[in-house]
Amino acid sequence: MPTLKEVAKYAKVSITTVSRVMNEADKVNPETRERVQRVMRELDYQPNRVAQRLRTSKGQSKLLGLIIPDIQNQFYSSIVRGVEDVAYGKDYAVILCNSDENPTKERFYLDVLQSESVDGVILPPIHQYSKVVEGLIESGVPVVCVDRKLVREAVDTVVVNNEKGGYLAVKHILDFGHKRIAILTSSSQFSSFDERLTGYKNALKDHNIALDDELIKEGDPRSTESAYLFTKELLRLSNPPTAIFATNNLMTLGVLEAVHEEQLNVPDDISIVGFDDMPWARAISPPLTVIKQPGYEMGRRATELLFQRFEDPKREPVQIIMEPTLIIRKSTGRVK
Amino acid sequence: MPTLKEVAKYAKVSITTVSRVMNEADKVNPETRERVQRVMRELDYQPNRVAQRLRTSKGQSKLLGLIIPDIQNQFYSSIVRGVEDVAYGKDYAVILCNSDENPTKERFYLDVLQSESVDGVILPPIHQYSKVVEGLIESGVPVVCVDRKLVREAVDTVVVNNEKGGYLAVKHILDFGHKRIAILTSSSQFSSFDERLTGYKNALKDHNIALDDELIKEGDPRSTESAYLFTKELLRLSNPPTAIFATNNLMTLGVLEAVHEEQLNVPDDISIVGFDDMPWARAISPPLTVIKQPGYEMGRRATELLFQRFEDPKREPVQIIMEPTLIIRKSTGRVK
DNA sequence: TGAAAAGATGAAAACGTTTTACTCTCATTA
DNA sequence: TAATGAGAGTAAAACGTTTTCATCTTTTCA
Give B123's pLDDT tier (boundaries 50, 70, 90): very high
Task: Kindly state the average pLDDT of the residues A2-11.
Answer: 93
Kindly tell me if the per-residue pLDDT of A206 is higher than 80: yes
Contact by Cβ (8 Å): A275, A246: yes
As ranges, strand D nucleotides with an atom below 7 A of a protein CB are 7-12, 14-20
Contact by Cβ (8 Å): A97, A68: yes
**pLDDT tens for each residue of B152-181:** 888 999 999 999 999 999 999 999 999 999
How far separated are the first and last CA of chain A, in Å rounded?
Answer: 71
Number of alpha carbons in the 13 Å side-chain half-sphere of residue B112: 28
- Residue A286, preceding peptide bond in cis (omega within 30° of 0): yes
Instruction: Tell me which chain B residues have a C-beta less than 8 angstroms from the C-beta of A84.
Output: 71, 96-98
Instruction: Tell me which chain A residues have a C-beta less than 8 angstroms from the C-beta of B72.
Output: 74, 77-78, 81
Q: How far is CA B315 from the centre of its chain?
A: 23
Q: What DSSP state is assigned to residue B283?
A: T
* Domains along the sequence of chain B with CATH: 4-47 (1.10.260.40), 63-159+295-322 (3.40.50.2300), 162-293 (3.40.50.2300)
Nearest to A95 among B95, B254, B280 (CB): B95
Q: Is A53 on the interface with B (CB under 8 A)?
A: yes
Task: Kindly state the average pLDDT of the residues B225-246.
Answer: 97
Q: How far is CA B227 from the centre of its chain?
A: 22
Question: Which of A 34-63 have CB under 7 A of nucleic chain D?
Answer: 45, 47-48, 51-52, 54-56
Contact by Cβ (8 Å): A74, B74: yes
Q: How far apart are CA A97 and CA A113, in angstroms?
A: 10
Q: How far apart are CA B48 and CA A112, in angstroms?
A: 9
**pLDDT tens for each residue of A59-104:** 678 899 999 999 999 999 999 999 999 999 998 999 999 999 999 9
Tell me which amino acid residue B90 is: K
**pLDDT tens for each residue of B32-69:** 999 999 999 999 999 999 999 999 866 678 899 999 99
Res A314: pLDDT: 87
Q: Which residues contact A275 (CB under 8 A, 6 or more apart)?
A: A165, A169, A196, A245, A246, A247, A248, A249, A251, A252, A290, A291, A293
Res A249: pLDDT: 96
Does A115 contact B224 at a Cβ distance shorter than 8 Å?
A: no
The share of chain A scoring above pLDDT 90, in percent, equals 83
Q: Is B221 on the interface with A (CB under 8 A)?
A: no
Report CA torsion sign: B92, B23, A48, B149.
Answer: negative
Query: Which residues make beta-bridge pairs with A63?
Result: A93
**pLDDT tens for each residue of B195-233:** 999 999 999 999 999 999 999 999 999 989 999 999 999
Contact by Cβ (8 Å): B159, B321: yes
Instruction: Of A76, A67, A91, give the one whose Cα is nearest residue A298.
Output: A76
Q: Is B97 on the interface with A (CB under 8 A)?
A: yes
- What angle separates helix A15-23 from helix A30-43, to the nearest 10 degrees? 90
Radius of gyration for the alpha carbons in chain B, expressed in angstroms and rounded: 25
In Å, what is the separation between the CA of A279 and the C1' of C11? Answer: 60
Q: How far apart are CA B91 and CA B323, in angstroms?
A: 30
Kindly tell me if the per-residue pLDDT of A26 is higher than 80: no
Report CA torsion sign: A195, A191, A64, B89.
Answer: negative
Contact by Cβ (8 Å): A195, A169: no
List helix spans (H) across chain B: 4-11, 15-23, 30-43, 49-55, 74-89, 103-115, 131-138, 162-175, 191-206, 225-235, 249-261, 295-311
In Å, what is the separation between the CA of A27 and the C1' of C4? Answer: 21
- SS (HEC) of A25-45: CCCCCHHHHHHHHHHHHHHCC
B23 touches strand D (CB under 7 A): no
Question: How do beta strands A216-219 and A181-186 pair?
Answer: parallel
Closest nucleotide over all strands to A4 (CA to C1') = D16
Give A25's pLDDT tier (boundaries 50, 70, 90): low
**pLDDT tens for each residue of B263-305:** 999 999 999 999 999 999 999 999 999 999 999 999 999 999 9
Q: Is B105 on the interface with A (CB under 8 A)?
A: yes
Contact by Cβ (8 Å): B240, B269: no
Give B26's pLDDT tier (boundaries 50, 70, 90): low
Task: Kindly state the average pLDDT of the residues A290-297.
Answer: 98
Q: How far apart are CA A314 and CA A198, in angstroms?
A: 35
> Mutating which of A285, A329, A331 best tests the B interface, going by the most B Cβ atoms within 10 A?
A285
- Residue B194, Ramachandran bin (φ over 0: left; ψ between -120 and 50: alpha; else beta): alpha
Task: Give A190 or A234, the one with higher predicted confidence.
Answer: A234
Return phi, psi of residue B294, to 5°: -80, 75
Radius of gyration for the alpha carbons in chain A, expressed in angstroms and rounded: 25
Res A336: pLDDT: 78
**pLDDT tens for each residue of A172-183:** 999 999 999 999
Q: How far is B300 from chain A (nearest CA, A)?
A: 15
Kindly tell me if the per-residue pLDDT of B242 is higher than 70: yes
Report CA torsion sign: B260, B263, B268, B269.
Answer: negative
Task: Kindly state the average pLDDT of the residues A269-273.
Answer: 98
In Å, what is the separation between the CA of A307 and the C1' of D22? Answer: 36
Tell me which amino acid residue A132 is: V
* H-run or E-run covering A98: strand A93-98
The SS3 of residue A232 is: helix
What mean pLDDT is reported for chain B? 94
Res A123: pLDDT: 96
Contact by Cβ (8 Å): A66, A73: no
Q: Is B261 on the interface with A (CB under 8 A)?
A: no
Classify burial at A231, counting beta carbons within 10 Å of its beta carbon; exposed 0-12, middle 13-18, buried 19 or more. buried
Q: Is A79 on the interface with B (CB under 8 A)?
A: no
**pLDDT tens for each residue of A215-261:** 999 999 998 999 999 999 999 999 999 999 999 999 999 999 999 99
Kindly tell me if the per-residue pLDDT of B238 is higher than 80: yes
Task: Give the other-Cβ count within 10 Å of B315's Cβ.
Answer: 11
Nearest to A78 among B50, B72, B111 (CB): B72
Does A49 contact B78 at a Cβ distance shorter than 8 Å?
A: no
- Residue A30, preceding peptide bond in cis (omega within 30° of 0): no
Q: How far is CA B49 from CA A98, A113, A118, B62, in A?
A: 20, 9, 11, 8
Q: How far apart are CA A313 and CA A119, in angstroms?
A: 12
Does B96 contact A96 at a Cβ distance shorter than 8 Å?
A: yes
Q: How far apart are CA A260 and CA A286, in angstroms?
A: 12
